[in-house]
Structure 1
Amino acid sequence: MTKTTRVTKLLQKVQEGSKEAYDELFPLIYKELKRIAYSKLKKERDDITLSETALVHEVYMKIVDQDSLAAESKSHFMAIAARCMREILIDHARAKKREKRGGSQRDITFIDELMEAHHQAEELIDIDAKLKELAQLNERLAKVVELRFFGKLPIYQVAQVLDVSKSTVKRDWDKARGWLYKELKEG
């Protein structure tokens, strides 16, 4: 049985309510999640010894806390993980921004060391805001950005998740990047 098939079967068991399937699923996708986290965090700072591990654990805890997991395949699960990574990084960036504005209350997370400089948090918040605007204009373009930028999914997996062709994903990716570049540059 291939790893992808095994992950899909475990996801079906998770949907049926099996907590044991969660425990078996995590080690199977751990390295891939860690690779995605490392790829994303590599842009954030140079010395990321444990940060990607912490981000993966945050993602796993967030997924486990959901009442139901509606992932039909490994690609779909990775898309859900990408969305969770985005939410965690954005929450962390907002906390850094609050801290800069004198907020004395501090959220405790496993990834307190992710953002080294304030401007990185600002940029991430700006990207998130523009991504929300893009979603109002074209939800599929926003999903492509989320899956490619935050999830680091390859074109073929994005196509599987969104149930479109690879060429459609490539066109959407080009359009979305162009729109975001223009919007962020103007802002």
Structure 2
Amino acid sequence: MLQENESVTRLLRRWSSGDQKALDELIPVVYVHLHRLASGCMRGERPDHTLRATALVHEAYLRLVDSDLELRDRIQFYAMAARLMRRILVDHARSLNCEKRGKRPDKLVFDDGLFVGPQVDAGLVALDDSLNLLAIRDQRKSDIVEMIYFGGLTYEETALALKTSESTIHCELKMAKAWLYQDLSRNRGSAEADD
């Protein structure tokens, strides 16, 4: 595992320095972990979800490769992958919601196979809205939720990425979960009252 971690970090630094061959070497090294992250993200989704883990990995990877971010190490790389996977899942849910309401989505998805039916995941959209509100109030708590639940990072990896202790991560995650639960409950109650 240590050798893989060092390899990813070394390849990311070479790639960030402009070595495109490093990207070709990086793909097979990170693919399995990215697929594991995507599977973790998809575990929380409903069973009939039309987006699959492999498509999520490919889309996240394409977005990472097309970005101009300078990724220093594997933890930063996987944290960014987690953020992108969350964004992709939310964009997917929002586009399905637009289609269901007769509106055209803003973007066309690169893989038509991603959409099989008109199911909508309002829960993910609501969670994304709550996470965005939490980020306005406390960016670090939002980042912790994203890294652990969407990215599958451990408390130790999250602590390293955010340059803090594992006990701080544990404490802040508890507070973030309580805040999200309260916000989602409040919003669910007001949405039901509107119906």
TM-score, reference length from structure 1: 0.90
In structure 2, give the amino acid aligned to 1:139.
Q
TM alignment of 1:109-128, pairs within 5 A: 109-110=110-111, 112-113=114-115, 117-118=119-120, 120=121, 122-128=122-128
Equivalenced residue count is 184
CA distance in 2, matches of 1:71, 1:127: 27
CA distance in 2, matches of 1:92, 1:5: 34
CA distance in 2, matches of 1:167, 1:124: 28
CA distance in 1, matches of 2:172, 2:37: 21
Question: In the alignment, what sits opposite 1:28?
Answer: 29
Gaps of 5+ in 1: none
Is the 2:60–2:85 contact (alpha carbons within 8 Å) kept by the matching residues of 1?
A: yes
Is the 1:12–1:72 contact (alpha carbons within 8 Å) kept by the matching residues of 2?
A: yes
In structure 2, give the amino acid aligned to 1:156.
E
Q: Against the structure 1 CA distance between its residues 104 and 50, is the aligned structure 2 distance closer, same or farther, given a 3 Å change threshold?
A: closer
Decide which structure has the larger Cα Rg and report it.
2
Question: In the alignment, what sits opposite 2:18?
Answer: 17
Is the 1:44–1:115 contact (alpha carbons within 8 Å) kept by the matching residues of 2?
A: no
| Secondary structure in 2 matching 1:2 | helix
Q: CA deviation at 1:185?
A: 0.7
* 2:87 counterpart of 1:81: no
Question: In the alignment, what sits opposite 1:71?
Answer: 71
CA distance in 2, matches of 1:32, 1:60: 12
Question: In the alignment, what sits opposite 2:179?
Answer: 179
Question: In the alignment, what sits opposite 1:91?
Answer: 91
RMSD: 2.1
CA distance in 1, matches of 2:101, 2:49: 26
TM-score, reference length from structure 2: 0.87
In structure 2, give the amino acid aligned to 1:2.
Q
CA distance in 2, matches of 1:39, 1:138: 25
CA distance in 2, matches of 1:116, 1:45: 13
| Secondary structure in 1 matching 2:183 | helix
Q: Against the structure 1 CA distance between its residues 50 and 143, is the aligned structure 2 distance closer, same or farther, given a 3 Å change threshold?
A: closer
CA distance in 2, matches of 1:115, 1:89: 15
TM alignment of 1:136-175, pairs within 5 A: 136-175=136-175
Is the 2:15–2:22 contact (alpha carbons within 8 Å) kept by the matching residues of 1?
A: yes
Gaps of 5+ in 2: 188-195
| Secondary structure in 2 matching 1:107 | coil
CA distance in 1, matches of 2:61, 2:81: 8
CA distance in 2, matches of 1:14, 1:75: 16
Q: CA deviation at 1:86?
A: 1.1
TM-superposition CA deviations, 1:86-141 (whole Å, max 9, x none):
111111111011011102457224372488732x2x11111111111111111100
